[in-house]
Amino acid sequence: MPMSNWTVTMPSPTAGPTPMFLQLAHGVMNDIRRGRLLPGQRLPGTRAWAKSLRINRNTVIAAVAELEAQGWVHSTPTRGTWVRETLPVEPRPTRRPGLPPLGVPLEPLPAFLTPRSFQFSDEVLHLSAGTPDPRLFPVELLARTWRRVVRRKGRHLLEYGDPAGHSSLRQALAGMLSDLRGIPATEDQLVVTRGSQMALDLIARAVVAPGETVAVESYGYRPAWDALRLIGARLAPIPVDAEGLDVDALARLLRRRKVRAVYVTPHHQFPTTVTMSASRRLALLELARRHQVLVIEDDYDHEFHYEGRPVLPLMASDDAGVVASVGTLSKVLAPGLRLGFVVAPTALADRIARLRAVMDRQGDHPMEATIGELIEDGELQRHVRKMRVIYQARRDALAKQLTAKLGDTLEFSLPPGGISIWARVRRPLALDVWLARARARNVSVNPGASYRFDGHEPGALRLVFARFTENELTRAVDVLKASLP
């Protein structure tokens, strides 16, 4: 089997009645039994082995002879010694057994935590995966810029740096937020994070104490709810309708109990895609000011708006310092880069940066400096404009296919922005049967219950179009149609 170029550390003999060569042989046998040394693995040469243990080479030669005699290894003159494929013990497991089970008790993880993430399969069209199309990512441009930045600034980039993020990226983001989102942010108000999920976790840790109430949308982003629950917050769902978060319902909650924060997605509500109305936005900001509630605004896909001008974030109208806005470059570039950010009043941004230094010390400053340069050079802006045209075409293609082939089953409003369509089932249908049949044909769709706070099925689907070509979207809709019960 192929091996790395590491020098294998061999068991050491100790002083005692057992001859040293037998100690070496028994140590190797034990390492083979427990899976540390694998069948077919090459052992160190006798000369190097003896040198590493500072013992006589003849002792090592005697140990190898003993192992050969008992069938554990085989040697070839001038070539080396290997663990035998056929061993005088039970057959080895199909993979490394690894360390023994943990010998100390662990408390169960909270039941709400989602399973570990998985790698998307190229064979399956994951129609609910909220990511951009990685095939459109400018890999060569990123690689060239990274090399140029590291050559020029490598000495400083490879040192410890500011846990708030590399200065060049924070400056570039501040300019972007001012130009595109109307937020007059400064570098000191920005913290770069490893994706929006870290940003949400850090805000929760910085603001919410265990037992405090956080209001959330009744349809929403479950990983954000998990981050809040994990630090001990009590979540209170607020209804969502065609104008976004029901601010009157939030006001009623505020009259009954103290609320520490409210988490909202006002631009393209997740997952229904509706935009919070202007009157509700103003009312929400006034409620937050009056009751001293932090508004955690998740503006996760601001750059992708296709009809008219995008609505400015809540933070652009925040004169009271009650909004912390979360953004991500995952939708613009690629989720694997893990680049998100928080823009908040300076005191809160400093608090978040200090917490981040404890859990992660700092982010990937070479990559952050690279993305900062792409923004300064206008390359990121050009990429966003290109993606906006492509994603609008994909939105229109999916809408056309759904109307033509599933018009009697699904109804939807064409979203003015974002990367998905929220479609409601318009007739009685065994949704679980339908989606299971589609999954068997390599089209995966999450039911609406995945996004509802109470877990009840609303009879709706979130269908993401950004990740797939128009041909792939056509194939996905064909599979959905063929899978109808």
Reported in sequence order, the residue ranges of 143-204 that DSSP labels E, i.e. its strands, are 190-193
Two tokens, residue 419:
């990367």
Q: Which residue has the tokens 């400015």?
A: 312
Residue-level pLDDT at 12: 81
pLDDT above 90 as % of the chain: 73
Confidence of residue 114 (pLDDT cuts 50, 70, 90): low
Closest residue by Cα to residue 388 from 266, 303, 302: 303
Q: How much is the pLDDT for 3?
A: 45
Instruction: Identify the pLDDT of residue 93.
Output: 55
What ranges make up the beta strands (E) of 372-480? 410-411, 420-425, 443-444, 460-464
Region of poorest pLDDT, from 24-33, 162-171, 184-193, 275-284: 24-33
Instruction: Please indicate whether residue 94 or residue 144 has the higher confidence score (pLDDT).
Output: 144
**H helix and E strand count, the chain:** 14, 17
* Banded pLDDT at 67 (limits 50, 70, 90): very high
**364 CB-near residues (< 8 Å, 6+ apart):** 194, 338
Q: Over 70: is that where the pLDDT of 285 sits?
A: yes
Domains of the chain (ranges, CATH numbers):
7-98 (1.10.10.10), 125-134+382-482 (3.90.1150.10), 137-380 (3.40.640.10)
Average pLDDT for 286-302: 95
Tens of pLDDT, residue by residue over 350-368, are 999 999 999 988 999 999 9
Sorted by sequence, the CB contacts under 8 Å of residue 216 that are 6+ apart come out as: 224, 225, 228, 235, 236, 237, 238, 262, 263, 453
For the stretch 70-96, pLDDT in tens is: 999 999 888 899 999 888 866 455 455
Give the Cβ contact number of residue 222 at 10 Å.
17
Instruction: Indicate whether 253 pLDDT > 70.
Output: yes
What global pTM score does this model have? 0.85
State the first-to-last Cα distance of the chain, in angstroms, to the nearest integer: 49
Report the distance separating Cα 214 and Cα 206, nearest Å.
Answer: 13
Helix axes 247-256, 278-291, angle to 10 degrees: 20
Quick check: 10 pLDDT over 80? no
Cβ contacts of 25 within 8 Å, gap of 6 or more = 63, 66, 67, 70, 72
pLDDT (average), residues 135-155: 92
pLDDT at 103: 81
The least confident of 103-117, 235-249, 378-392, 467-481 is 103-117
pLDDT in tens, 437-454: 999 999 999 999 999 999
> Mean pLDDT in the chain?
91
Summarised one tens digit per residue, pLDDT across range 396-436 is: 999 999 999 999 999 999 999 999 999 999 988 999 999 99
pLDDT at position 102: 79
When pLDDT is averaged across residues 368-375 and rounded to a whole number, the result is 94
pLDDT band at 1 (very low <50, low <70, confident <90, very high): very low
What's the pLDDT band for 130 if we cut at 50, 70, 90? confident
Strand-pair category, 73-76 with 443-444:
unpaired
**Both structure tokens of 306:** 């296709």
pLDDT of residue 123: 86
pLDDT surpasses 50 at 246: yes
